[in-house]
Amino acid sequence: MIWTPGTDWRVRTALAFALAAAAFAVRATIVTLRAHTVAAALPMADVLSTQSVSTAAASGDLLRLAELAPFGASRADAVAPISNAAPAIPITLEGTIAGAEQPAAICRLGGTAARILHIGDTLGGWRLQQVAPGRAVFIDAASQRHELRLNSAGN
């Protein structure tokens, strides 16, 4: 009997484990890369309880459709420009939690106690849209975006 690497069960088992490890490494790399480019989406309960996508498009709710794009860059930046004027927002940004699965902002409305807000939460009529390290973006009733930064002049 002639021994070849393909006939030994130990060699085939080691090869199978090596291929599985390589596949796992490729998958983990793809998941990591996607985690940094995925736009925040509405919770599935909100999506199911609202209009269907075709009805939302027909009613002109394009901003909401842009927020639902799970694997594209957020098109909300192109739809509603960030206000460059001094923020007229009565909210003070106290801190951010951006490294977690659900980013959050620690905010204070006027002289009230600080609250932890997650993306989509509202405070005094202002909806939190985006959280990054040291900054948070809020949307007002007129769909204007206002960016608050830690230690900024208006904050």
pTM of the prediction?
0.44
Most confident of 33-37, 62-66, 75-79: 33-37
Alpha carbon of 134 to those of 55, 79, 95, 115, 116: distances in Å?
A: 37, 23, 7, 16, 14
Domain ranges of the chain: 80-155
Predicted pLDDT of residue 31:
77
Taking the mean position of all CA atoms in its chain, how far away is CA 44? 14
Distance CA 53, CA 64 (A): 10
Taking the mean position of all CA atoms in its chain, how far away is CA 1? 61
Q: Among 40-44, 102-106, 143-147, name the one with the lowest average pLDDT.
A: 40-44
Judged against a pLDDT cut of 80, whether residue 122 lies above it is answered with yes
Assign domain 80-155 to its CATH architecture.
Roll (2.30)
Judged against a pLDDT cut of 70, whether residue 71 lies above it is answered with no
Sheet holding 91-97, edge to edge: 91-97, 104-109, 115-118
Give the pLDDT band (50/70/90) at residue 102: confident
Predicted pLDDT of residue 48:
46
The mean pLDDT value for 39-49 works out to 50
Judged against a pLDDT cut of 90, whether residue 129 lies above it is answered with yes
Q: Cβ contacts of residue 139 below 8 Å, gap of 6+?
A: 80, 126, 127, 129, 145, 146
Judged against a pLDDT cut of 90, whether residue 128 lies above it is answered with yes
Q: Contact at 8 Å (CB) between 51 and 59?
A: yes
pLDDT, mean over the chain: 73
The mean pLDDT value for 119-139 works out to 92
